[in-house]
A and B are shown apart, each in its own frame.
Chain A
Amino acid sequence: MSANNLTAVTGKKGKSYAAQKRAGLIASYIFLTVLSIIWLLPILWVVLTSFRVEPGSFTAAFFPQPYSWVEGTTKYTQTYTFQNYIDLFTPRDGFDFGKMWVNTLIVAAISCVISTLFAVATAYVMSRMRFKMRKPFMNIALIMGMFPGFMSMIAIYFILKSVGIEKTLLALILVYSGASGLGFQVVKGFFDTVPKALDEAAMIDGANKATVFFKIILPMSKPIIVYQALTAFMGPWMDFIFARFLMGTNYDTYTVAIGLYDMLDKTRIYEYFRQFAAGSVCVAVPIIILFMSLQKYYVEGVTGGAVKG
């Protein structure tokens, strides 16, 4: 397979050029189709499961069909239903998915704003200003990034507790965005590519550093700011560890990640699996729409960040 692909990639001119190329393309299409199926199947499965009547994760068929049977003995009917979504948004057993969803949205929105501001500000300083503590700061940021993130979670918990705000959404916001000044590297990489001549020209015209930042650099950096905001916004939807650790048993401030994880608890999974799927759809769909509409910026960020390190 790979030989075919390589040939096709670079377009070799050979004896049977056309035939070879066609074979390569056909192989590539088959390869891509198989990949697409592998990648889409689990997602499709979650969506279908969210409409399923049969409880549990151990289903009779990969895709529920109107009629199926278990172990050749009992026949029963399977149909699709919207009931799972209704159940999901009906609070019971302490689960209130609607509330969790709103909680997560609040936390994500606020920490997205804060961490974007912090990261962009720090990145600008590291890219454009020259001062004594610059290199040390960058090295410290590098070093701190190498400690496992939640090693400090106990300490953070007690700090928040000593202020009396543990188990609140504010605590989560602070945890997600507090230290975001350390995550400046990708944005800095982008700023580094903006020519310094622009700044200098503006400063000859009498602009100060603040004006350069707000009037020149920021407007030019829309892609990377969108990238930064997008990753920051998606973080709280996906984080599980900190939310779990901070919230304990305070159901009122649960985020979707903890809620969904708890639904798969051994004692609950049979009854709750369909709600889990429905909940997953409710979380994934907005994020996917948001992500897809901003995909262009994300790609720029990923590529730029990788190249610069």
Chain B
Amino acid sequence: MSKKNLDEKIEIPDDLITKLSYVVFGLGNIVHGQIAKGIAFLAIEVAYILFMIVGGFQNLINLVTLGTVQTGWVEVPGKIMPEYRLGDNSMLFLLFGVLTVMITVGVVWTGYCSHKSAKNLQLLIKNGKKVPSLMDDIKLLLDQRFHITLLFLPICGILVFSVLPLIYMICIAFTNYDRDHQVPGNLFDWVGLSNFGSMLGGDSRMTTTFFGVLVWTLIWAFFATFSNYFLGIIVALVINQKGIKFKKLWRSILVLTIAMPQFISLLVMRSFFSNYGVINRGLINLGIIPSINDTIPFFSNPTLARIVIIVVNMWIGIPYTMLMSSGILMNIPQDLYEAATVDGANAVQMFFKITLPQIIFTTTPYLITSFVGNINNFNVIFLLTAGGPSTSEYYSAGKTDLLVTWLYKLTKEKMDYSLASTIGILIFIISATMSLITYTRSKSYKEEDAFQ
């Protein structure tokens, strides 16, 4: 197919119809006989123009101003009492503004397609070939252009539920949409980079919180990732060694925790470790703790809480790595070991020269994703400690809060949306730099096609 395309790529200048297809969508198609396709193009353009007249253009203006009319009591001439008037809603202005920009980009792209289509037809006619009918086009959608058919709905979903919200939230980071500027009632406005400024040095309490939380987030991600990784591998090695019976049973026992909904196991763990939970009670019963007044403060001592979180996370995460590395272990060719034995290698050597390199090699991409995943590991922290113990040093964050849970708290409790979005962007920058560097260097990325 690509070869055929190359043959047809003879450069010819656009004729008038083709040029006009940039402006009047579908003109080329209509003139050259593809009526239905041309009308579809044109309909998109007409719909867009109508939309812009009805409200689209206003949306763009609103996007710049983010609203000017404050909600409140207004003196109305001729009336004694002032009237309560609803003002502009900055939040909706921003949302619809972003939406309008996205639609505009889509329409510009349609214009580009319209031109491309017209140019194609011009070429076909010049070469004396038949203009494809509507049926031909539909057939193409099941063959060479099958990707368009398959991707249409998924991409619509992604645009509405991922791209639009994300762009919107990124915009919020550059506004002052915080608890003092709540809509409706108040307006918020563009403030440039000042949120980033106050986060990274401008506001001392905010900066303390940010860097404090960041350091703990990285420590947590490091320990959570590597403790699960190495312990999971060790468990897999133990289960998969020769001579161990009931391999499937051991594995299933651990896998039970993957199947157990995480929030349940986490909430259960929370009550286990709470001041009056089962563990403290057990220690009292065993006589290790003298009385109910001396319970171990698993969640109210910051250091202890952090350790407990990492330990509980092992309970949740080890089965997963165990499962994964079991699969890899079973795939290591046995003759490697046999050859090594013949050459006189001992067990330790074989482990470090064959088993470990194989596992690490195949799971490097997993390590990266799981590190990034742990930076954003909301469930474990939120359901176990909810970020506590709280501290007055931090702005609306506790000692075990990760950046994500802090983001959540700022959103949910403080309504500081702009700060929350700022943190979101900073999290993105951190995880993106980390993984893009490793991803683009990894073999699976570079040699993606070579693999097939």
B126 to chain A, nearest CB (A): 24
A199 to chain B, nearest CB (A): 11
B339 sits at the interface (CB 8 A): no
CB atoms of B237 and A162 under 8 A apart? no
User: Which residues of chain B from 251 to 309 have any CB-CB distance to chain A below 8 Å in the complex?
Assistant: 252-265, 267-272, 274, 276-278, 281-282, 285, 292
A19 sits at the interface (CB 8 A): no
Q: How far is A196 from B139 in the complex, measured between Cα atoms in Å?
A: 22
Residue of B nearest to A2 (CB): B234
A10-B157 contact, Cβ under 8 Å, with A122-B150, A208-B146, A283-B261: no
CB atoms of A35 and B164 under 8 A apart? no
CB atoms of A178 and B264 under 8 A apart? no
CB-defined contacts of B328 to chain A, threshold 8 Å: 303, 306-307
CB-defined contacts of B363 to chain A, threshold 8 Å: 306-307
Q: Which of A152, A180, A192 counts the most chain B CB atoms within 10 A?
A: A152
Interface size on B, residues (CB 8 A): 120
CB atoms of A154 and B161 under 8 A apart? no
Q: How far is A21 from B244 in the complex, measured between Cα atoms in Å?
A: 11
Q: How far is A287 from B265 in the complex, measured between Cα atoms in Å?
A: 13
CB atoms of A152 and B351 under 8 A apart? no
CB atoms of B154 and A146 under 8 A apart? no
A5-B451 contact, Cβ under 8 Å, with A121-B154, A182-B162, A302-B327: no
A209 sits at the interface (CB 8 A): yes
Interface bracket on A: 35 or more
Q: Which of B144, B256, B417 counts the most chain A CB atoms within 10 A?
A: B256
B9-17, B20-28, B71-79, B421-429: which lies at the interface: B421-429
User: Which residues of chain A from 7 to 53 have any CB-CB distance to chain B below 8 Å in the complex?
Assistant: 7-14, 21, 24-25, 28-29, 31-32, 35-36, 38-40, 42-43, 45-46
Residue of B nearest to A203 (CB): B143
A57 sits at the interface (CB 8 A): yes
CB atoms of B165 and A152 under 8 A apart? yes
CB atoms of A42 and B239 under 8 A apart? no
B191 sits at the interface (CB 8 A): no
B92 sits at the interface (CB 8 A): yes
Q: Which of B144, B267, B445 counts the most chain A CB atoms within 10 A?
A: B267
CB-defined contacts of B172 to chain A, threshold 8 Å: 154
CB atoms of B351 and A240 under 8 A apart? no
Indicate which residue in B95, B319, B421 contacts A158 across the interface (CB closer than 8 Å). B95
A178-B162 contact, Cβ under 8 Å, with A35-B235, A39-B257, A146-B428: yes
CB atoms of A28 and B238 under 8 A apart? yes
B117 to chain A, nearest CB (A): 15
CB atoms of B427 and A291 under 8 A apart? no
Q: How far is A29 from B250 in the complex, measured between Cα atoms in Å?
A: 10
A45-B154 contact, Cβ under 8 Å, with A152-B169, A208-B142, A208-B143: no
A46-B169 contact, Cβ under 8 Å, with A179-B158, A295-B255: no
CB-defined contacts of B2 to chain A, threshold 8 Å: 130
A174 sits at the interface (CB 8 A): yes
Indicate which residue in A14, A154, A159 contacts B160 across the interface (CB closer than 8 Å). A159
Instruction: Flag A82-118 by CB within 8 Å of B: 1 or 0 each.
Output: 0000000000000000000000000000000000001
CB-defined contacts of B274 to chain A, threshold 8 Å: 57-58
CB atoms of B151 and A9 under 8 A apart? no
CB atoms of A178 and B263 under 8 A apart? no
Indicate which residue in B95, B150, B261 contacts A125 across the interface (CB closer than 8 Å). B150
Indicate which residue in A62, A155, A240, A288 contacts B259 across the interface (CB closer than 8 Å). A288
Instruction: Flag B434-452 by CB within 8 Å of A: 1 or 0 each.
Output: 0110010010110010011
B60-68, B127-135, B195-203, B342-350: which lies at the interface: B342-350
CB atoms of B315 and A302 under 8 A apart? no
Q: Apart from A57-B277, A213-B150, what are 10 other A-B pairs with CB-CB below 8 Å?
A: A6-B347, A9-B242, A148-B376, A178-B157, A195-B452, A209-B144, A257-B261, A292-B255, A295-B252, A299-B323
Q: 10 tightest A-B contacts by CB?
A: A309-B365, A181-B154, A303-B327, A178-B161, A152-B165, A155-B165, A291-B259, A58-B276, A151-B424, A12-B347
Q: Can you give 25 contacting A-B residue pairs, CB < 8 Å? A: A8-B243, A39-B256, A42-B269, A42-B272, A45-B272, A57-B276, A118-B154, A119-B154, A144-B162, A146-B435, A149-B376, A151-B166, A152-B166, A154-B411, A155-B165, A162-B95, A178-B158, A208-B142, A260-B264, A284-B259, A291-B258, A305-B366, A307-B362, A309-B369, A309-B442
